[in-house]
Structure 1
């Protein structure tokens, strides 16, 4: 039986290739936690959501904060928490409106739509942006 929570961390020394490394790291963590994988039908859609949130948060850190410094994934009985730390103290801003056809500025909207909750918190060297995503029904376990 898996513990109630499990956290996996990836420290990033450089921003080069960070999105690909972080997606691969997240894919591996989900597989170790026995989550249905992207491409495994309807239940795999949640894994795709997690990978997309990872991509968006890491990309935002690369574009607005000189790159991510750490990715953290925490599995619980009800879902997964994705955290991306960077060295900028500027909190993320969810843009309202704008032209949905034009590129750019949609990352946090995607995170907002796929997460049951998200936000940011400051830390000593910048901030951490986090997102919580519900587990697919096949993965849900009662707490305790």
Structure 2
């Protein structure tokens, strides 16, 4: 898990229909079938130049979870699933802030029973969990948390410009 690769198991891959000049506010969900008849919705938030990026990303994702019925949670398992999503968003965005010249865009996609988070940045680095992981050591826990909470995660390089998209997938609550 966590290897650099272009296509994750869900087959979602990087979003090919990115807007040429993204706005500073979220784009409405597409809600379109994906060619296999499955329902798919994507929300986008431009983060480049925004202030308070991590709370902004969490609030944006929380609203998507409300809209998609993950919140308010009817059970402890559903509440834990939503909290995991918000924690992973925080870790991915924070990692881009600290190590990748800041995030450009957050994409949240719901596809059948998988929620996919993508953070696009201009950085050249390769995110990886610190090994060996030492729980008592300050810092360096973000990608370890992502690895532990997610079904899968990875990196898709941008072939047309500097940067990459770090993606992570979580299971929808039962």
TM-score by length of 1: 0.88
Q: 1:111 to 1:11 in 2, by over 3 A?
A: same
Between the aligned partners of 1:115 and 1:32, the Cα distance in structure 2 is 21
User: Is 1:56 the counterpart of 2:91 in the alignment?
Assistant: yes
Counterpart for residue 46 of structure 2: 11
Tell me the secondary structure at the aligned position of residue 51 of structure 2: coil
Following TM superposition, the consecutive aligned residue runs of length 4 or more in structure 1 with deviations greater than 4 angstroms are none
Between the aligned partners of 1:53 and 1:114, the Cα distance in structure 2 is 8
What is the CA-CA distance between 1:41 and the residue it aligns to?
Answer: 2.4
Q: What RMSD, in angstroms, separates the aligned Cα atoms of the two structures?
A: 1.7
Between the aligned partners of 1:114 and 1:88, the Cα distance in structure 2 is 24
Counterpart for residue 109 of structure 2: 74
Asked if the contact 1:15/1:67 (under 8 Å) is kept, the reply is no
| 70-79 vs 7-16, greater mean Cα deviation | 7-16
What is the CA-CA distance between 1:39 and the residue it aligns to?
Answer: 8.9
Counterpart for residue 119 of structure 1: 154
Counterpart for residue 132 of structure 1: 169
Match of 2:145 among 110, 119, 135: 110
Gaps of 5+ in 1: 138-144
Gaps of 5+ in 2: 1-30, 33-38
Structure ranking higher in strand proportion? 1
- The alignment covers a number of residue pairs equal to 136
Asked if the contact 1:38/1:46 (under 8 Å) is kept, the reply is no
TM-score by length of 2: 0.73
What is the CA-CA distance between 1:110 and the residue it aligns to?
Answer: 0.2
